[in-house]
Each structure stands twice: as structure tokens, then as C-alpha cells.
Amino acid sequence: MDITHILEGLNDAQREAVTAPVNSTLVLAGAGSGKTRVLVHRIAWLIQVEKISPWGIIAVTFTNKAANEMKNRIEALLGEPIRGMWVGTFHGLAHRFLRAHHNDANLPKAFQILDSDDQHRLIKRLTREMNLDESKWQPRQTQWFINKQKDGGLRADKIDHEGDPYKRQMISLYKEYEGICRRSGAVDFAELILLTYEIIRDRKDIQEHYQKRFESILVDEFQDTNNIQYSWLRVLCGASNNLFVVGDDDQSIYGWRGARVENIQEFQKHYDTTKIIRLEQNYRSTNNILCGANSVIANNASRLGKNLWTEDGDGEPIRVYGAYNEIDEARFVINRISSELENGSSRSEIAILYRTSAQSRLFEEALIQQEIPYRVYGGLKFFERAEVKDALAYLRLTNNHNDDSSFERSVNRPTRGVGAKTIEQIRLTAKESNCSLWQAGKKLLSSRTFTQRAANALNIFYSIIEEAEIEIKDLELPQQVDEVITRSQLREHFIKSKDGKGQDRLENLEELVNATRQFTYLDDQGVTSDLDAFLAHAALESGDQQADYSEDSIQLMTLHSAKGLEFNTVFICGMEEGLFPHSMSADDPVRLEEERRLCYVGMTRAMKLLFISHSESRRLHGSDTYPFPSRFLREIPTNLIEEIRPKPKTSKPYVSPSGTLRDAQEITGYQLGQRVSHPKFGEGIVLNAEGQGASARIQINFETVGSKWLVVAYAKLSTL
């Protein structure tokens, strides 16, 4: 058998990963090391050499874009379609499973998926129904609590309130929320995975079927998995040890949203026969950039370890600019961008990265002044736009009358006289009768509870939905969507809009219809109709798609948004203590390591040129601050750095009796970020300094006891 097409072009480590035995394997794939290539060629190897049917393979990604890219590349490599193979996100695959097992999940065949906005709306309604003060029991906080519990694999009845009244109330809200979802046949994103996991865990027949079916389980971006996702993978794998996971613990930056870097760190403990393969050859960045990134991330203690390298040359040094203030910083960045553009660079090859979104304002203003087109990456997605969500609500309600979230969104939009009092009556009846809002409204109409005006308005709404349901039965999907939008009168509503955005909203409605013309789905997805499939697609895709601007533009984004991207030229701005690393992380060793990983991610986005800037002064939260340069900056070897202007004379001001400014080293003899050792507290990092003479004090974050203030004269510190 000729397997040249599978192995050619792979380096030694990539080839080792692709051809590894079908056993537990952990591929530590550094930034720019070709992990997608490895996954694609690994699947081709499994099919052609190991003779595993595509039907017996499941590949999990974190975005639908990545899933589609992987599938297309596999088919191109093999020269044939891969029918039967499960390729998708955790949520997409869980949705596919629940469609096939809706009876086992006690769900209607046409169950609906609640996106984040729908979930928030439902929780807000529930809070009102339970007569809770929204200022105290904020729906967003409740939403976060519920999703966190689900991500941890916990149902409401499994949580111990520990005597905490706040937690007890949150658990009560969680219970009521679960009841509403069950009644309306709806599942949120977290529920998709939790429910799938529970069925496979508890139903041994289903468990055995899927464990036997899937001979190989492959996972991309494994470092970003949360608790319930990893639990799902483990129960799906069973005792077969057929997990092939690819990830990078150095790029785990989403701990704030539930990702557990511990999953990748503990993988070997769970699967003791695990083979670890390191992909360290980088095909993206110059050697100077890689050496700088390696030096920074080496300061993290809890990592599996790898060292990126490249066959390319050293390239340009990492350039560091010490600005006088944030205005000077923005001016420098934009002037440098102008120079790069004059030298032939395209705008899309240049990115400005920052720790917090608030930092973008000055860069935006400067770009506007210079008339340089730009794009703030990660803006509002198509399916999240209000007018699109309005239309989808009508479509979902037409498809499933018991969808409470869609009922609430559409019943009085456009305004038709269904007031807050009427809606509140419907909510109360739904709760008392344990039924959906649609059924409750019908019940109240039959009992002539409403005023004539309210009843007429509600009857008009019911007629719109019921007539649309009949009218669209024999139509193609684009005609179905267009017909429902027409009957909803949303177009007329936006034409009358006085906010200047009516035309844009109309165009978005038309684009929704266009989206259905381009929409296709596999027959084996378990959906009941084209409309059913499209509505699921809209919910699942809403978080992946970025606005597509045809104009070449400078890319502005947070460091978190930059993951997975690459640019010829990268500016990392605001590299200062308190900003990056963030003040909320500086005293927490675990969070500080994640901040350092974020810095590593930012640095490795750069292919050719990397600029890092920091300011002597910065206005934050309404006050002028005088921050130290970030400790991450000082972790880069000086031989890799070119100072565009000398370092600021002050990293944090201290006014002496003579009125002169002095820096931290002059005050205490120690540099910020310097590692020191104490006879009692052990090793730590210098965070801050203040005072003078015999009373000079130093703040140190110790690895064992946390942050301590010590008098320098008596501290008995030694440098490391």
C-alpha cells in the first residue's frame, strides 16, 4: 500500500504522532507546529492503514469552522467523502446524539436549543415569577451559576447549600429553571453536553453501543476542555484507551470560562499507557520571537514542558517602546503601522493586541485620524443581531408552539397591544398549570380572562403563528423563512424605525433568507425538517462566525481573541503591572500562570515583527497611575530586545524629600518581578515597594503562603 501521500511533508515528530498505535496518546502541539495537519493525516492513517471505518471515528473540535476545515482537508487527502464520521464541536455532536436519543432524554423530537440570550430572558422571567428583587438576584449571575454547575456535572438536587442562604436561593432558581426547560422541551448549551453525558453514563446499552462503535476518539484544543466535556470523553472511551488528544498546556487561557488546564496535565494519570509526543518545530515565527516566548513561559512551574524552535533565521529583534503615557503609546503604534504600510505591508497582516477591550478606544481614534481602515475583531455576530433573533423567534415558535423563550420575544414585537400585565398573567397561569406559555395563553383566552383589547391583540398573534405554520408546510426552506418574516410584519416595523438603523436591519433580514439558500445538512443528523435543521444550525453557529469585511483593515483585538490567529506584524500594548498581568491575577499564583500563558499566546501570534509597548503613566479608573513595566517583559532575555527609546527612568514614582523621582530598585535594592528567597516563607516574586530608609517595605508573593509585606532591613532575603 502506498502511503506516501499521508506521510510526505511531515517532520519526524508529526510523523510519529500520525502513525502512533491506536492507544491513549497526548500530542503537545506548540503554537504554529502544524497540529491541524497532524489531526488530518492521523485520521487518514486510521482509515487507510488501520482500516478503521469513518463510521468508527469521532473527531471533536472547538469551533464549527475548525470542524468543517478538518473534514474538507481529510476528504481532499483521501480523495473520497468520509460519510458516517462524526466531526464537530462538543455542542454540535451532543446535539446530534440527543436528536437520535430524544426519547431516552425525555425530549420532544423537535426540541429547541436556547442560546445565551434566550437563557437570560427565561431566567429573568423566572426571577420575576418568584418575586425576587432583580437588583439582588441578578439574572446574569443566576445564569452564570447554573451554567457553572452544569459544566461541573451537577444537577440542582446534587448541590449542597452548606447553610448559605444565597446559595440556597440559587439552587432553588436552578430547580425552577430546569422545570421550565423540561416543560417547554428546550435545552441550553451546557445542558446539551450534560444530558448527553448522563445518558451514556447511566444507560449501559447505549454506552456499550457507542464504545463499540467509536474505535478512535480524537480531540483538538484539549487544553480548553471543561470538567463535563472531559467526563463525556472518558465515559465514551471506556476501557479501550483510544483517546488521541492534541493540545498545548501553554495556551490554556480560558480558565475564567471553565476550561481546566488540569485535564491535559492529568491525562497521563487517567491513562497510564499514554504516549506523549511533542510538536516543537514552529512554522510561523522567527527564532527571536520563539526564544522570547520560550523564556517567558518557562517561568510557569506547572507545565509539561516543551521548547519551540524553527529552521528559519533569527529575524528582527523584539522591539520594546516605553511610552510617556497611553496617548504617546497609541501615537507610536499608529505611526509604526503607517511606516509598515508604506513599505508594502497589507493592513490585514497587522494586529494590535491588548489585555482589556477598553484599551482599544485610543487606537481606534488614532486610526480614524490617520484614515486607516480597521476592524475590532469579535464584533456582534450575525445570528446575535436583534432583528435576526426576532425573526428566528417567530420561526422557532412556528416550529414548536411550546418554545417559551420564543413566545416571550415575539408576542409583542412588533408592538401589537399585548402589554406587560397580559404577559404576566400568562406566566402565572403557565406556572400554576405546569404548561407552556402558548398553552397558558390559549387557556386564558378560552376563559375570557382578558380585556377585549388584550384578547384581540393576543388572538392576532396566535393567528400569525398558526396561519404561518399551515402556509409554509409545502414551501422550500428559503420561502418558509421569507413567509414567516412577512407575516411577522418585522419588515414594516423596521421601515418605520427612527433610530437610523432600519435599513441595516432590513438588510440583515434579507441576509437571513439568503443564509437558508446556502444552507445544507447531512441526512443522518436526526432532524425532522429543513427548518428544524436550520434553527439548530443558527443556535449552534452563533458563537463562531465573524463579520466578514471585504476591505483590507488593521485588526484590533483582545489577547484572548487572538488565539488561533497569526499576523506578520503584532503590537502587544499595555505591558504593565496591574494591566498585564491584570491586577486581579497578580496575587494568585494559578491566575498569574494563566496570565503568563496569555502573554505567550500573544507573542506567538507574530510571524515576522513583534512590538511590545508600555507606559510610564496611564489613566485608569479615572486616576493617573504610574505602573511598573510588566514582569513578563523582564522575563525576555535582553539580547533579544531592541529598545526603541531608553527605558523610562521611573517604573513607579516615589517622591523623595528632595522632590526627585526614584525607582523600586533604588528604594529597596530589589527589582519588581525579581525572584527572592526568605528563610521562613520560601521562594517568591517581588510585587511592590514603598517607603524609604529603615522603613522601606517590599511586597512579595510567596509560592506557599501568598502575598506578604516585609521590612527590607529585617527581611533577610536572598536573590535567586
b/e per residue 293-320 (b: at least 16 CB within 10 A) = bbbbbebbeebbebebebeeeebbbbbb
Neighbours of 424 (CB within 10 A): 13
684 forms beta bridges with 676, 702
Which of 215, 221, 248, 663 is flagged as catalytic? 221
38 burial via Cβ count (<10 Å: 0-12, 13-18, 19+): buried
b/e per residue 437-460 (b: at least 16 CB within 10 A) = bbbbbbebbeeeebeeebeebbee
Q: Dihedral sign for Cα 145, 150, 154, 158, please.
A: positive
CA dist 141 and 166 (Å) reads 12
Cα–Cα distances in angstroms (integers) from residue 608 to residues 352, 585, 691, in the given order? 14, 30, 43
CA dist 389 and 110 (Å) reads 19
Which of 14, 15, 35, 125 is flagged as catalytic? 35
How many H helices and E strands in the chain? 28, 22
Q: Dihedral sign for Cα 422, 423, 427, 430, please.
A: positive
Cell numbers describing residue 448: 375570557
642 forms beta bridges with 319
Element (H or E) spanning 710, and its range? strand 706-711
Backbone angles phi, psi at 579, to 5 degrees: -110, -50
Which of 36, 265, 525, 545 is flagged as catalytic? 36
Q: Are 79 and 109 in contact (CB under 8 A)?
A: no
**Residues 6 or more apart whose Cβ sits within 8 Å of residue 205:** none
Q: Which amino acid is at 446?
A: S
Which DSSP letter does residue 221 get?
S
584 burial via Cβ count (<10 Å: 0-12, 13-18, 19+): exposed
What ranges in 101-188 are assigned the alpha helix state H? 116-129, 139-151, 165-184
**Residues 6 or more apart whose Cβ sits within 8 Å of residue 477:** 516, 517, 519, 530, 531, 534
Question: Catalytic site residue 221?
Answer: yes
Cell numbers describing residue 174: 436552578
Question: Catalytic site residue 605?
Answer: yes
89 forms beta bridges with 61
Prior bond of 81 cis (ω within 30°) = no
Nearest 5°: the CA angle 578, 584, 587 is 90
Which DSSP letter does residue 719 get?
E
Neighbours of 380 (CB within 10 A): 9
333 forms beta bridges with none
Question: Catalytic site residue 220?
Answer: yes
Neighbours of 83 (CB within 10 A): 12
Q: Which amino acid is at 90?
A: F
Helix axes 477-488, 530-541, angle to 10 degrees: 70
Nearest-Å Rg of the Cα atoms of the chain is 29
Which of 118, 191, 198, 220 is flagged as catalytic? 220
CA dist 569 and 315 (Å) reads 12
CA dist 138 and 541 (Å) reads 27
Which of 306, 605, 631, 652 is flagged as catalytic? 605
Which of 63, 143, 149, 251 is flagged as catalytic? 251
Q: What is the dihedral of CA 681, 682, 687, 693, to 10 degrees?
A: 70
Catalytically annotated residues: 35-36, 220-221, 251, 605
